[in-house]
């Protein structure tokens, strides 16, 4: 099998390319100069926005490759055309939860036998460190580990990209649940607000993905996304907003007990979200372990000028 050299342009297939992160990964791969393929699934039907998005990728130079998770041979044919496969399948309970579907992709990659690297859908908390997670949110990590185990059992070269909260869901809303925009008057602070959390703009996550996919330094490794200026406490994030607006928000400090008090009364998707927030903001699961320079994306790729949260929040002012 020919090795892909770092810096060499490679052929990459993005699965889930019309999703929130997937579309950004497609754009980043194109910008990086990689020959970019996007899986076009017949299940897209008459979803006009997704069809138009796929066509916009085609205009930019991407190749559309037909394939369906209900047709194994179509997946085998699709992955045979590329060197690297990146999955951006959704894994959150309040949207489509498709993590287990990747097992079919693993089988196709295994049969094709020619893929030099697979990046499964990870990008958030490291599932290998979340064995203690609360149900039903624990399902996400269990399924991601099932996919990892299948990848490694099949001997497929891989990279796992993990470690940060997407700014669209955790930054712009100052980490408030049920909204994606900043509160105007008052804000809930989790615990004492001093647990360190990591935030990343999804465009930057996509750029790191495009850099990582053919880098020999990241082969069969977990790469953590920890932009130094975006390692912030909840209070520090709120204070950035207050400085930008010149207004001080009324703060309610929510204890762990109160945060989880009525979790069983919530719908499943809400329960999962509460559990994830608890692990991030009360336990500090993103920052309770050290990471070496050779495992951290912003150190590996200093040329990526990542967006700091003070820059990110300006659009909301």
Q: Which residues are catalytic?
A: 144
Closest to 23 measured CA to CA, from 49, 1, 2: 49
Element (H, E) at 119: strand 117-119
Largest CA distance in the chain: 60
List pLDDT tens digits, range 115-125.
999 999 999 99
CA 241 to chain centre: 24
Closest to 84 measured CA to CA, from 121, 33, 119: 119
Q: Summarize the confidence of residues 240-246 as an average pLDDT.
A: 98
Closest to 98 measured CA to CA, from 43, 36, 143: 143
List pLDDT tens digits, range 4-63.
455 567 999 999 999 999 999 999 999 999 999 999 998 888 889 999 999 999 999 999
Q: Summarize the confidence of residues 221-225 as an average pLDDT.
A: 98
pLDDT band at 153 (very low <50, low <70, confident <90, very high): very high
d(CA 208, CA 206): 5
Q: Given this model, what pLDDT does residue 191 score?
A: 98
Closest to 203 measured CA to CA, from 15, 29, 10, 6: 29
pLDDT band at 92 (very low <50, low <70, confident <90, very high): low
Q: Summarize the confidence of residues 156-161 as an average pLDDT.
A: 98
164 touches 199 (CB < 8 A): yes
d(CA 106, CA 192): 43
pLDDT greater than 80 at residue 127: yes
CA 203 to chain centre: 10
Prediction pTM value: 0.94
Q: Given this model, what pLDDT does residue 44 score?
A: 84
pLDDT band at 97 (very low <50, low <70, confident <90, very high): low
List pLDDT tens digits, range 163-197.
999 999 999 999 999 999 999 999 999 999 999 99
Provide the β-strand partners of residue 170. none
pLDDT greater than 70 at residue 264: yes
The percent helix, strand, coil of the chain (3-state, each to 5) is 45, 20, 40
Q: Given this model, what pLDDT does residue 7 score?
A: 58
d(CA 36, CA 20): 17
- Residues of the chain above pLDDT 90, percent: 91
């Amino acid at each position: 099998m020919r090795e892909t050299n770092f810096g060499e342009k490679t052929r990459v297939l993005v699965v889930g390319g019309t999703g929130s992160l997937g579309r950004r990964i497609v754009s980043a791969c194109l910008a990086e100069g990689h020959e970019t393929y996007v899986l076009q699934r017949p299940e897209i039907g008459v979803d006009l926005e997704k069809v138009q998005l796929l066509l916009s990728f085609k205009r930019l130079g991407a190749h559309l490759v037909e394939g369906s998770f209900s047709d194994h041979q179509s997946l085998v044919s699709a992955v045979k055309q590329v060197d690297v496969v990146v999955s951006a399948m959704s894994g959150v309970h309040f949207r489509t939860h498709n993590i287990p579907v990747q097992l079919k992709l693993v089988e196709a990659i295994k049969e094709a036998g020619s893929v030099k690297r697979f990046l499964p859908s990870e990008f958030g908390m490291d599932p290998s460190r979340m064995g203690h997670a609360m149900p039903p949110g624990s399902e996400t990590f269990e399924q991601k580990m099932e996919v990892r185990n299948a990848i490694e059992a099949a001997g497929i070269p891989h990279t796992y990209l993990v470690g940060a909260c997407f700014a669209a869901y955790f930054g712009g809303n100052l980490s408030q649940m049920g909204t994606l925009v900043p509160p105007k008057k008052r804000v809930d602070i989790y615990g004492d607000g001093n647990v360190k959390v990591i935030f990343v703009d999804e465009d930057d996550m996509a750029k790191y993905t495009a850099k990582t996919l053919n880098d020999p330094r990241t082969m069969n490794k977990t790469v953590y996304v920890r932009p130094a200026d975006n390692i912030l406490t909840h209070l520090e994030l709120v204070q950035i907003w207050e400085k930008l607006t010149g207004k001080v928000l009324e703060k309610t400090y929510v204890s762990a007990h109160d945060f989880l008090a009525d979790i069983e009364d919530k719908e499943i998707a809400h329960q999962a979200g509460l559990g994830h927030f608890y692990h991030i903001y009360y336990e500090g699961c993103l920052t309770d372990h050290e990471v070496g320079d050779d495992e951290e994306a912003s150190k590996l790729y200093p040329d990526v000028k990542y967006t700091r949260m003070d820059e990110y929040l300006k659009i909301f002012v």
